[in-house]
Amino acid sequence: MRKNLEVPKNKKGKVADGLHEIGQISVDTGQIAISDPCNSHNPDITVATNFGDGMFPVYEHWENNERIGLFIPLSTDFHDFLAEGVGE
């Protein structure tokens, strides 16, 4: 995942509420697996992507200057465009 994107902060160092892109993940199997690094032989979660391969953005969700979660959209504008082309 690329880490050159920074979460926007105000002058007091507080993060703005909302979703902030922190990078992207590359998928070449049509699935994203999330696991504990100490238990990499058995992924905790495996999710099929809506289209398959490609780059998927990763967002942090911030509220009240705290990160409350990560968000990986499985359907982006680019992937929707590709899926429409395949369906025709």
Q: What is the mean pLDDT of residues 13-34?
A: 86
Residue 84 has pLDDT above 80, yes or no: no
Looking at residue 61, its pLDDT comes to 92
Residue 42 has a pLDDT of 72
Residue 9 pLDDT: 83
Residue listed under structure tokens 């465009």? 81
Asked if pLDDT for residue 27 goes beyond 90, the answer is no
Least confident range from 18-22, 56-60, 70-74, 81-85: namely 81-85
The band of 1, judged by pLDDT with boundaries at 50, 70 and 90, is: very low
